[in-house]
Amino acid sequence: MSSVENMVRDYIVQNILFSSNGYPYQDDTSFLENGIIDSMNVLELVMFVEQKFGVKVEDAEIVPDNFDSIIKLSAFIRRKQELTTASSS
């Protein structure tokens, strides 16, 4: 399992679900459909992504396609990291 997924899952478990039994959903489970995150949590997640992965998230990127499951968010982070690396090299 790649480390981006693990880090995102850990963050949600520790800071949003406050769970002691790990992440009780699948990685493709929709955050929105299952009430896993709310509008406040999204802002926290954006801050987490920016700080932890060193990428800048634009307002228009905070949409379900990028933020609605562990898989989608991890893919988004990787895309952003590649762009950042490409532009700085």
Partner 1 sequence: MLVQEFLERSALRTPDKVALVCDGKRFTYAQIEKSANRIANFLTNKGLKRGDRVVVYLPNCEEAISSLFGILKAGGVFVMLNPTTKYDKVVQILNNCQASAIIALEKDLEFFKRVRVDVFSILAMIQVDHLNKVANSEVVAGLSAYSEIMAFSGEQQPKKVNIDLDLACLVYTSGSTGDSKGVMSDHSNVDFATSSIISYLENTAEDIVINCLPLSFDYGLYQLLMVFKFGGTLILEKGFVFPAAILSQIHAERVTGFPGVPTIFALLLHLDISQFDLSSLRYITNTAAALPVSHILQLRDKFPGVKLFSMYGLTETKRTLYLPPEELNNRPGSVGIAIPGTEVWLEDEAGTRLGNGQTGELVVRGRHVMRGYWNAPEASAARFRPGSLPNERVCHTGDLFRSDEDGFYYFVSRKDDIIKTRGEKVSPVELERVLYGINGVVKAAVIGVEDDVLGQAIKAILVSQNPLLTQKDVLGYLRNHVEDYMVPKYVEFVPDLPVSESGKILKRDLK
Q: How far apart are CA 80 and CA 88, in angstroms?
A: 12
The footprint of partner 1 on this chain (CB under 8 A) covers a number of residues equal to 23
The CB-of-21 to partner 1 minimum distance in angstroms stands at 9
Q: How far apart are CA 53 and CA 51, in angstroms?
A: 6
* Near partner 1 in 18-37, by CB under 8 A: 18-20, 31-33, 35, 37
* Near partner 1 in 34-63, by CB under 8 A: 35, 37-40, 42-43, 59-63
Nearest CA-CA partner of 51 in 89, 77, 18, 87:
77
Considering only CA atoms, give the Rg of the chain.
13
Task: Give the binding site for partner 1 (CB under 8 A).
Answer: 14, 17-20, 31-33, 35, 37-40, 42-43, 59-64, 67-68
